[in-house]
Structure 1
Amino acid sequence: MARSNACCLALLLLCGAILLGMNPGTMVMSAVACPLVCLDVDYMTCPSTGDEHLSPQCNCCLAPKGCTLHLTDGTSVSCS
């Protein structure tokens, strides 16, 4: 009895994973590494705020996508 219950539970979990689009054979985990380097950022601009100078973030991992970090040496880093 316990064996048939375990088989039914495993089959139910497999069907649920397939229905949710999580095919166990093709699941690939992807992660983005964020460096612990804090750039010398003077200010930040983002498309949503136009030319408004926003408080700076340390690097692009912490800044919203599409924003630009303006460094104190006059260069800029675009966060994509």
Structure 2
Amino acid sequence: MCTYIVEKVSTEGSGKGPDGWFAVTDTTVSYDHPVHASAEHTLNIDFLNPGKGASARVAVELTAQSARELIAAIQRTLEQVPPGL
């Protein structure tokens, strides 16, 4: 079953694709069928810069458990950043 769950957010950062590093301007997060991962559904994250074409994209497909662990790791890391940095 397709979930059609999709969130889009403007992003500031960088990603590395087949042509090297590029500015990431957009991120799409969805929970649906993966293209490559061997799971029924995955959390799919696409970091991209639409202005630079199809090669300016980094895609990740994570199981729900891996995505939750990643969220927790990101939160723990950000909590350790000294104020003002």
TM, length-normalised to structure 2? 0.25
Larger radius of gyration: 1
TM-score (structure 1 length as normaliser): 0.26
